[in-house]
A and B are shown apart, each in its own frame.
Chain A
């Protein structure tokens, strides 16, 4: 049997200690209780702060357990995501003139948790709560590409809604691979011909996405003739996704 990894063992000891004491601990006290040099302990708690398992009081500099531990295994609430994304989704719609949708993965489909109307005064219906097929939308591609469970893709029924729907596992796999490589997804006419979408992941924990934010509209307003999104669109999407992700880290 291979030996234990010392740094993980020490980090666990530090967490146990911080969980056992009633008050935040100064670094020196923590080092004394762990019987380790201060510099070693400093490295450990700094790393734990980075991942959200430990917090440092900005006034005293003392350390205590962070909310990241309690949040382990708990999914991000869809309504919390809607509250946090709202400001950025509105800004995205105002600047692009396109409808904005935010989705989370529910089983094999994407559920819309937020929707901002295309700001052109035309009659539109609020689509929050609707389920959309993940393989046929840019939002769904992002959710699948950054899903914590990769096997999901094999469970999907790949209905061909249009001739351009990625309706084989090979085609879908290629699209997801491209999305992961470029950091966003675009799809033209996956569900309805003449309608295109571009979407980006809202990251929460390392490597996975809690949701996807995207713009949808007539293909020529979203994509250039080459098939690439209009200049600036991807940058604006990524900025909104990033800003939302950082507000998700602090709780209300």
Chain B
């Protein structure tokens, strides 16, 4: 190990990026290329895995060149990826057998419905800690096996490989058809619906239940471990880690202890809390998942709650209602007034998600009076993100008995100070933002750096975390109770809107 820097590949939904970090965890370089989104039918969303691999090969040298570095300067590389995006490729040609089915794709609804009616629901829940749902990878793999001609047969022969995107990239970086390493990490594997959450291995009964040949499956590895050495892209550099993107952000925010939590506010929002050394199955519609595993140590678990519509509501306010010219301007508009004028916006655009799970709900704006102006609406739009966060946090606290003492935030919406102040107000805990907004990539880089010995331990990484801003709660307990009760009433109004004709 000679390098003075660590690289991260952030393979996201819209682009593939390479970021280079120094020993203090500071970003020194960023290169990025977007890839094509394919929507061949309503509800379908696909990526070309070959394009993603080609983009990966472009961003690696570009990121090095931007910082005037050479391959020898890189001590290790880590990967963070869009989760649940599913692909199958031919081990001998290295070519995908079909387009990758992304996490946004809803074509597997029928397969999931069948799983829920079938005899194995309880087994899935017991083993994985999860209730079968459309966002996991296994139903997508089943769909491919059903619909790509000859795939089921070829899968049994061992000619083919299944993986989420990190598997695909690691296999290609380590040589592809010429000796590529076929592995996945525990966080990505925990989103397949096929992994035993305790043993962190594939469960044969679950594979059998979905008739998935074991020959397809990658080996499950810890997040922090040398997976192999790059033969292309960054020749000679060790791949020291891989992570699903939200778990990578939890790791990058250095939430290593039980009770530490982060929320990434983007189009949607993802709140993950470290729950310690035992899985925390949820009675309230949250997802139990692996937080991270370090080679030779017990794995850590997390509970996850997602908010489907956060920044997306601001975009809707801008694009559909044309109330503002750019997303940040919502804060200017909202600050013209001191409260929402008692109006509430519940963005159940595609039903209610965690912790309610009501697909028949639809969005509402309630409490309208002639007093309400667009400034009040702007405030209600921002408050919706805060109240949805509060609902997820309450469910987590009820599930785990762990009280929140603070929340670390990242993502584009953290530049909206009014929204972040509202989150602090409704949670009644301080909300903190770290320096730099690249928690996902930082997490991947940390995994790689730990694996290759670039950083000695988690404490050093913890010391790298730098506070850039804190929002202290400033709302009275009485207002919080009143607002929370009103939000509940507003949520009630969304239920049961969609009816069969």
Contact = CB atoms under 8 A, between A and B. Distances in A.
B329 A79 contact: yes
Interface of B: 24, 26-27, 325-332, 412, 415-417, 435-437, 466-471
A128 B416 CA distance: 11
A102 to B, nearest CB: 11
Contacts of B436: 90-91, 94
A77 B26 contact: no
A52 interface: no
A95 interface: yes
A252 B435 contact: no
A79 B435 contact: no
Contact of A83 (B24, B328, B468): B328
A30 to B, nearest CB: 28
A90 B468 contact: yes
Q: What 10 A-B pairs come out closest when comparing CB atoms?
A: A119-B466, A252-B326, A83-B328, A79-B331, A79-B328, A83-B415, A80-B328, A94-B26, A86-B415, A77-B329
5 contacts: A82-B328, A94-B26, A94-B435, A119-B468, A126-B470
Contacts of B471: 126
B332 A87 contact: no
Contacts, number: 73
A78 B415 contact: no
Contact of B26 (A86, A95, A124): A95
Nearest to B27: A91
Contacts of B437: 86-87, 90
Contacts of B467: 117, 119, 121, 124
A252 B327 contact: yes
A71 to B, nearest CB: 10
A101 to B, nearest CB: 12
A128 B417 contact: yes
Contacts of A95: 26
Nearest to A119: B466
Nearest to A84: B328
Residue from the set B26, B27, B417 with the largest chain A CB neighbour count within 10 Å = B417
Contacts of A94: 24, 26-27, 435-436, 466
A117 B416 contact: no
Nearest to B469: A126
A119 B26 CA distance: 12
Given A82-B415, A93-B468, A128-B417, A119 B435 contact: yes
Contacts of A116: 435, 468-469
Contacts of B332: 77-79
A141 interface: no
A96 to B, nearest CB: 11
A79 to B, nearest CB: 4
Given A77-B326, A116-B468, 4 more contacts: A77-B329, A79-B328, A87-B437, A117-B468
Nearest to A89: B468
A246 B331 CA distance: 22
Nearest to B418: A79
A82 B468 CA distance: 14
A115 interface: yes
A246 to B, nearest CB: 16
Contacts of A78: 332
Interface string A125-144: 11010000000000000000
Nearest to A94: B26
A251 interface: yes
Given A115-B469, A119-B468, A90 B435 contact: yes
B454 to A, nearest CB: 18
A252 B417 CA distance: 18
A178 B103 CA distance: 57
Contacts of A251: 325-326
A252 B471 CA distance: 26
Interface in A151-168: none
B328 A252 contact: yes
A115 B471 CA distance: 12
Interface string A11-34: 000000000000000000000000
Interface string A93-116: 111000000000000000000011
A193 to B, nearest CB: 27
Nearest to B420: A126
A87 B438 CA distance: 10
B27 A83 contact: no
B57 to A, nearest CB: 26
Contacts of A84: 328
A83 B327 contact: yes
A248 to B, nearest CB: 11
Nearest to A129: B417
B435 to A, nearest CB: 5
Contacts of A119: 435, 466-468
B442 to A, nearest CB: 12
Interface in A194-252: 251-252
B32 to A, nearest CB: 13
A91 B328 CA distance: 20
A125 B467 CA distance: 11
Contacts of A117: 435, 466-470
A125 B24 CA distance: 24
A79 B416 contact: yes
Contacts of B328: 77, 79-80, 82-84, 252
A78 B415 CA distance: 12
Residue from the set B437, B466, B468, B469 with the largest chain A CB neighbour count within 10 Å = B468
Contacts of A87: 437
Contacts of B469: 115-117, 126
Contacts of B416: 79, 83
Contacts of B466: 94, 117, 119, 121
Contacts of B329: 77, 79-80
A90 B435 CA distance: 6
Residue from the set A79, A95, A121, A251 with the largest chain B CB neighbour count within 10 Å = A79
Nearest to B467: A117
Contacts of A115: 469
A99 to B, nearest CB: 10
A88 to B, nearest CB: 11
Contacts of A128: 417
B174 to A, nearest CB: 33
Contacts of B468: 90, 93, 116-117, 119
Interface in A53-101: 77-80, 82-84, 86-87, 90-91, 93-95
A125 B471 CA distance: 8
Nearest to A126: B469
A126 B430 CA distance: 12
Nearest to A78: B332
